[in-house]
Chains A and B, each alone.
Chain A
Amino acid sequence: MISPLADDRVQLRPFTPEDAVPLAAILNHPDLAGRSYLPDSLPDIPITPSALEKILAGREHREREVYLTIVAAQTGRLAGYVNVGWGWDALSPTLSIVVAPDLQRQGLGSSALRFMLAWIFGHLPAHTVLSFAADWNLPALEFMRKHGFHNAGASRRAHFWRGRYVDEIGMDLLRREWEAGHGA
């Protein structure tokens, strides 16, 4: 029997075509502008539901990568998504998470992250999990730090956005740290 990725806050499930419209609305929210979301999307250029549907359809059957929607359990509303990829090496998968701005600070992201870390360390022979965020995205950096991720440094000039270079902060969480409760 499949263990449901759900608690009283969130449910994680695969994308459906009906998710394209609400997810596009989340990704086009001004407060989320400039983040690296999905491949083939451009910073500050709105993404349409049809383009998003194509992007997601193209990634649906990729091996060693998973995209799941985050659904708010109480309302059934789409709240964001998580992505895990281990295409090059299952030793060190990468993880990213996006939560709609008006649904942040309600514990949805924390629940989703906890589920995904448990899934990664429970189902992959991973030794560490890697994550990346733009240098200006202080809430994301603080969120990951709170969940035990360690700052590994900054890749300089990862992007050019709104007239300035953006560094990308690398973060990692080792299995033994997660097991010790930092990620729990």
Chain B
Amino acid sequence: MALEGKLVCLREERETDLPLLVRLRNDLETQAWSKSLAPDFTEAMYRQRYESRGFSFDHTDGRFIIERLADGEAIGYCGFYDLQSRLSVTWGIAVRKDCWGAGFALDAQETILKFFFEEYGLRVVRMYTHSGNQGMVRLGEKSGFRISVRLREAVFKGGRFYDTLLMDLLREEYYERHPELEDHLPPLG
């Protein structure tokens, strides 16, 4: 079963998704959170990455395609990395620009957060963005993330400096916002 939200589901990457991944990576607005990359990524590069992901029960990262439930169309991706088992993870998201503003990113975020807290049993989830990406800051805040670290002028994009923002969401904060869920994991510390 894929991870299903109200508007989108998160499913595994497939070979047919490679053009979307190239498109997102070659758009300066969706390609990378903290520095611009040359928009010269190719399907062949993504195929190489896709095929090199080996079988394992111990991946510390994960990649999902965001699929719109209404029509099954792939509209973005989200992923996580630096998974510390049962403790923490960092996640990120990119959505096609023609699909911005319709609630898909928030639904994807809530869907993956439920997975992180209910299945992975994590104590904190983190995300990075920068002060010029207010859309991402607002997206995080809508699910309860707050800015915990602001590293001044650590990002240079679009001809300007921005602050690196680290946002985090604690397990207790997540469950406070979701009274329909009960946290059965005893607190640590």
Contact = CB atoms under 8 A, between A and B. Distances in A.
B189 A153 contact: no
A79 interface: no
B152 A155 contact: no
A173 to B, nearest CB: 9
Given A89-B35, A91-B154, A154 B148 contact: yes
A157 B123 contact: yes
B3 interface: no
B126 A155 contact: yes
Nearest to A171: B151
A140 interface: no
A155 B156 CA distance: 22
Contacts of B151: 92, 128, 130, 152, 170, 172
Contact of A128 (B34, B124, B147, B152): B152
Contacts, number: 67
Contact of B168 (A127, A156, A172): A156
A150 interface: yes
Nearest to A162: B189
Contacts of A165: 123, 188-189
Interface string B146-189: 01111111111000010010101010000000000000000011
B145 to A, nearest CB: 11
Nearest to B169: A156
A165 B124 CA distance: 11
B87 interface: yes
B174 to A, nearest CB: 13
B129 interface: no
B164 A157 contact: no
A88 B156 CA distance: 13
A155 B166 contact: yes
Contacts of A136: none
A107 to B, nearest CB: 28
A10 interface: no
A127 B151 CA distance: 12
Nearest to A126: B154
Nearest to B152: A172
A160 B153 contact: no
Given A88-B34, A160-B188, A163-B189, 17 more contacts: A91-B35, A91-B154, A91-B155, A92-B154, A128-B151, A152-B149, A152-B151, A152-B152, A153-B147, A153-B148, A155-B148, A156-B148, A156-B170, A158-B88, A164-B189, A172-B151, A172-B154
Interface of B: 34-35, 87-88, 123-124, 126, 147-156, 161, 164, 166, 168, 170, 188-189
Interface of A: 88-89, 91-92, 127-128, 130, 150, 152-158, 160, 163-165, 170, 172, 174
